[in-house]
């Protein structure tokens, strides 16, 4: 399969590997959005969150606190974002991965949380939540 992360897992191409166990591998993201930017990747090829099952999801997330704490101890960041992109607009590698992005004062990584609370009444929240619940 022509998947760059499968090639890293198989050792066909190099990576800056931080951690590995039976189910996951963690390595430095080549783009280093901030210092220590790390990817946690299941060894099993699944495209994105929609293809995960509960067992794989728990196995993959299991290693996240350990790596997050290592990043915290290593670099003393002011915070840390745990991010996963699925399909558009941001997924560029079609093998599920979790980004751990340590945050620093005045770093250049931007996440915008725009509050739309003023556009929602009780009714609107109810409609949205029911639509989701009906699809669980
Ligand atoms: P996403 O946009 O969420 O799909 O993230 C994919 C990430 O994979 C990007 O941040 C890339 O910098 C990173 N990436 C792509 N190729 C490599 C590689 N060979 N080694 C490490 N990271 C990579
Ligand atoms: Zn893959």
Q: What is the mean pLDDT of the chain?
A: 98
Residues in contact with 49: Cβ distance below 8 Å, sequence separation at least 6, in sequence order: 84, 86, 96
Residue 88, token pair as written in the block: 């558009």
The pLDDT of residue 86: 98
Task: Give the domains, in start order, of the chain with CATH numbers.
Answer: 4-107 (3.30.428.10)
pTM surpassing 0.85? yes
Q: How far is ligand 1, taken at its centre, from the CA of residue 38, in Å?
A: 10
Q: How far is ligand 1, taken at its centre, from the CA of residue 40, in Å?
A: 11
Q: In what order do the strands lie in the sheet with 24-28?
A: 17-20, 24-28, 38-42, 98-103, 79-83
Q: How far is ligand 1, taken at its centre, from the CA of residue 128, in Å?
A: 33
**Residue to mutate (ligand 1; options 16, 28, 31; most atoms within 8 A of CB):** 31
The pLDDT of residue 128: 98
- pLDDT bin (cut points 50, 70, 90) of residue 1 is confident
Mean pLDDT to the nearest integer, 68-97: 98
Catalytic residues: 97
Instruction: Starting from the CA of residue 93, give the closest ligand.
Output: 1
Instruction: Starting from the CA of residue 88, give the closest ligand.
Output: 1
Query: Ligand 1: residues within 6 Å at CB?
Result: 4, 15, 29-31, 85, 90-93
Atom of ligand 1 nearest to the CA of 83: 3
Mean pLDDT to the nearest integer, 56-85: 98
12 DSSP 8-state letter: S
Asked if the model's pLDDT at residue 87 lies above 90, the reply is yes
């Amino acid at each position: 399969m022509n998947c760059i992360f499968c090639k890293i897992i198989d050792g066909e191409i190099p990576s800056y590997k931080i951690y590995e166990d039976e189910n996951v591998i963690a390595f430095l993201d080549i783009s280093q959005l901030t210092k220590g930017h790390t990817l946690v990747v299941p060894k099993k090829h699944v495209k994105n969150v929609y293809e995960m099952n509960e067992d794989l999801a728990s196995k993959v997330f299991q290693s996240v606190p350990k790596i997050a704490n290592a990043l915290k101890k290593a670099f003393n960041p002011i915070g840390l974002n745990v991010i996963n992109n699925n399909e558009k607009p941001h997924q560029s590698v079609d093998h599920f991965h979790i980004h751990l992005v340590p945050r620093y004062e005045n770093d250049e990584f931007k996440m915008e949380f725009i509050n739309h609370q003023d556009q929602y009444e009780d009714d609107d929240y109810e409609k949205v939540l029911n639509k989701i619940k009906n699809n669980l």
